[in-house]
Structure 1
Amino acid sequence: MTEETERRLETEVQETETEQESEATEIDTAGTAAKGSALKQTMPSTEVTVSVADIPAYNGSPYVAVNDNVPQFLETDLSTSSYEYYSDLDSLGRCGVVYACIGTDLMPTEERGSIGSVKPTGWHTVKYDTVDGKYLYNRCHLIGYQLSGENANVKNLITGTRYLNVDGMLPFENMVADYVKETNHHVMYRVTPVFDGDNLLASGVQIEAESVEDNGEGILFNVYCYNVQPNVAIDYATGDSSLAGGDVAAQNDAAADASVDTAAASYKGAKSDSNAASDSNADQADESSKSSGSTDQTADNGQTSDNSGTSAQNPSGGSDTLMVYKSATGDKYHSINNCGRMNPNKATQITEAEAIRQGLGKCSKCW
C-alpha cells in the first residue's frame, strides 16, 4: 500500500467519525429540545380522575389518600416555569379542574382583599354554634391565595365548609407553600372539585401535587378532602343544611334580627344594638378570613335561612323542625344523605318527628 493510499484511507476514517459524532449530537439536541418542550407545558390535562363512587364514606378524617397517594400527572404536565390554568364554569355555574405550576413568582406580594361579592354555587350564609367561627360555609379557593395570588376569581372559588377549608385543604397548601419558599423549586398542583350529578355543592375536592425539579422527592401526594362539617347535615343538591341532633342553633343575620325584634318589645334600643353587633361580627369575620389563603367567611346581611331558631319537640318524640334523611330501603334515619352505602340521590329528607312516626331508628354511625 502506497503512502498516498494510506493517507486517503485515514482521511476517510476521520470523516466517517466526524459524521457519526455530528449525528449523535443532533439526536441528543433533539431529545433535549423535546424534554425542554415538555417542561414548558402550559395546556395541562383537565381529565377528572375520581368520582364520588370511588371515595369511601366520611369516617372522621378530613381527607383520604387517592391512588395510593400518587398524583396522576402526565409527563407533559410537568413544568419548571410557573403558570396557572382555570377551567370555565359549567352550565350550572360550577367550577371545574384548576391547575398551576407553583413557583415563588406566582405567590402574592400583597394582602388579600375581600371576596364577599362572590357567590359560588350552593352558597348560603348560615351560622352554627358548633362551627369554629360560627359560619358553616367559606368561599374556598381551589388553589389557595398564598400559592397563586388569585383572589376574586370566580373560576377558583367554591362553597366549602369551614372543616373542608381549615382541616382538609389548608394543611396541604401550607406544605406546598413552605416547600416552594424554602427550595425555590416548582410544584405541579391540580385541584378537582367533585360534584355528584347536578348537585350545586361539591362533595369534596381532590388535590394532587408533585415537586418538579426533584421528581417528587420533596412533595408528592394525591388526596380527597371531604366537604363535610361534623354535627351538621348538608343537602348537597342545594347547599341547605341543618344541625345534626339537638336544638337547631343555626341563624343568619336576618334571622338574628327577627329574634331581637321579639325579645326587645320592652326595650327599643335592643334591635339597633344587635344589628350593630351583627355588622361588627361580619366585619371581623371578613378581616380574620384574610389571614388564610383559602377562605372568605364574610356574612351577607339580610339573607334568610331555613334552619334558624330552635327545634320544636313533638309529643311523640323527635323534632318537627330538624330535617333528617332516610334511604329508600333502610330502617334508620340519618344526619347526612350519604351515610354508609346510602345513595344520596335517592335519600329523602323529612323531619325527625316524621321519621320516628314511620318507625325509623336513629343511625349510630352519623349521629
Structure 2
Amino acid sequence: MVATSTIYPALGVAADSYQKDKLSGAEQHPLSFKNEKQLVLADQDSQKRAVDAHIQLNYAEEPTAKQATKLNYDPVGWHNYKFKYKKANASIGKSWLFNRGHLIGYQFSGLNDEAKNLVPETAYLNTGALKKSNASNKKAMLYYERGLTKWLKHHKSSRLDYQVTPMYSGNELLPRQIRLSYIGYSNSGEKVKISLKSYREEDGNDGATVVYLNNDSSNSIINYADGTAKNTLHKKADLAAQKEAAEEASSAAASSSARASSEAVSSAKA
C-alpha cells in the first residue's frame, strides 16, 4: 500500500522540545486502526528525497525472512567517508560516517532496498555509536527500534502504529533530523500510550509519543545541502603538525643554503 504524503512546515517548537526550528516534514498522525497490517510509504519528492514511512502491525506480522546484507540503492545526497574518531581508550580509529538508513526498520517492514524508505543517516544516528553499535543510546534509532520490538513481543494481541519522518531544511538533500512517532492499539482499536523511558520522548498528535533525533556525528561537519562532509578530529593538532613541519623544512632549507654559501666562499679563497 503506497500513498503520497505532503511536506508540512514545522509548527512552533516548545522550549523543552528536541525538535529543531525551521525544519519541515510530513504531518504526524497515527493511521486509522485496522485489524490488518498496513504499510504506507510516501512517494519521493521532486528532489528524489524520501518523505515519510508508516506502518501498523502486530507481533505475528513481523517479517521472519533473514535480511539481505547488501544494499544497492544510493539515496539522494549519498556519499561516504571513512573518518577518524577517538576510541574510549583515547586511541584513534577509523569508521564509516554514513549508513543507508531505513526509515522503517527491516524488523518491522521487511523492506531492504526500497528507495522510499532510505535516507543517508550517520552511523551514530542509526546505531548509537561511531563504530559498531550502542543499543542503550537514546540519541539513536536503534534504541527505539529495540524498544518497540520488545513492546510488540510483550503485547502480542495489540498493534503498533509507527511513523518515521525525515525532517529537512528547505531543499537540502540530507535530513537534519528524523522524527519517530509511535502509539499502540488494543485488539478492540483503543489507543494505548507507549513510553520507552527516554528523556527525548514528547507528546505528539492524537496521543502518540514523538522523538526527534539529530542526523549528526561528533567527528564531522556535514553539508546537508549535498551530503559532503569533513572530518574534524584532531584538526588543530593536524594544523599545528603541518605548521611545525613547514617551519622545520624552512629551517632545513636555510641551513642548506648557508652551508652552500660557506662552501662557495671557501672554494673561492682556495
Deviation at 1:151, TM superposition (A): 1.1
Provide the secondary structure at the position in 2 that maps to 1:129: strand
Change (3 A) 1:45 1:152: closer
In the alignment, is the contact (CA less than 8 A) between 1:45 and 1:77 conserved in 2? no
Residue 10 (structure 2) aligned to one of 23, 46, 51: 51
Change in Cα spacing, 1:126 to 1:217, as seen in structure 2 (3 Å) is same
Partner residue in 2 for 1:182: 154
Deviates more, 1:204-213 or 1:237-246: 237-246
Per the alignment, residue 171 of structure 2 pairs with 198
Q: CA deviation at 1:312?
A: 8.2
Looking at structure 1, the residues matched to 239 and 9 of structure 2 have their Cα atoms a distance apart, in angstroms, of 38
Alignment-derived partner of residue 14 in structure 1 = none
Checking the alignment, whether the CA contact within 8 Å between 1:79 and 1:212 is kept in structure 2 is: no
Q: Structure 1 residue 233: deviation in Å?
A: 0.7
Counterpart of 1:143 (choices 84, 98, 104) is 104
- Identity %, equivalent residues: 25
Alignment-derived partner of residue 62 in structure 2: 107
For 1:122 and 1:192, the matched residues in 2 are separated by 17
Report the alpha carbon displacement of residue 241 of structure 1 after superposing the two structures with TM: 0.8
Q: CA deviation at 1:145?
A: 0.7
Partner of 1:64, secondary structure, is coil
After superposition, residues 282-361 of structure 1 pair within 5 angstroms as none
Deviation at 1:53, TM superposition (A): 8.0
Task: Give the match for residue 210 of structure 2.
Answer: 222
Structure-1 separation of matches of 2:119 and 2:147: 21
Note the aligned Cα RMSD (angstroms): 3.4
Partner SS, residue 171 of structure 1: helix
1:218 is displaced (CA, Å) by 4.0
CA 1:52–1:111: 2 relative to 1, 3 Å:
farther
Give SS of 1:177's match: helix
Q: With CA pairs under 8 Å and 6+ residues apart, which has the higher RCO, 1 or 2? A: 2
CA distance in 2, matches of 1:209, 1:145: 16
Q: 1:48 to 1:218 in 2, by over 3 A?
A: same
Structure with the bigger percentage of helix: 1
Q: CA–CA distance in 2 between the matches of 1:106 and 1:99?
A: 15
CA distance in 2, matches of 1:135, 1:204: 19
- For the 8 Å contact 1:101–1:186, the answer to whether it is kept is yes
Matched-pair contact (CA < 8 Å) for 1:192–1:206? yes
CA contact (8 A) 2:3 2:41 kept: no
Distance in 2 of aligned mates of 1:227 and 1:46: 22
- Give the count of matched residue pairs: 205
The one-letter code of the counterpart of 1:235 is N
Correspondent of 2:77 among 102, 115, 122: 122
Q: How far apart, CA to CA, are the structure 1 residues paired with 2:150 and 2:124?
A: 22
Is the Cα contact below 8 Å between 2:71 and 2:112 reproduced in 1? Answer: no
Q: Once the two structures are superposed, what CA deviation does each residue of 1:219-274 show, in whole Å capped at 9, x if it has no partner? A: 5520111000013111100111112252499xxxxxxxxxxxxxxxxxxxxxxxxx
SS at match of 1:77: coil
Unaligned runs of 5+ in 1: 1-41, 58-62, 250-309, 317-367
Structure showing the higher strand proportion among its residues: 2
Instruction: Give the deviation of 1:196 after TM superposition.
Output: 1.0
User: Hey, what does 1:153 align to over in structure 2?
Assistant: 114
Distance 1:311 1:102, change over 3 A: farther
Read off the aligned partner of 1:99 and give its amino acid letter: H
| TM-aligned CA distance change 1:140 to 1:192, over 3 Å | same
Q: TM-score, normalised by structure 2?
A: 0.65
CA contact (8 A) 2:180 2:210 kept: yes
In the TM superposition, what is the alpha-carbon distance from 1:56 to its structure 2 partner? 7.9
SS at match of 2:163: strand
Specify the SS of the correspondent of 2:82.
coil
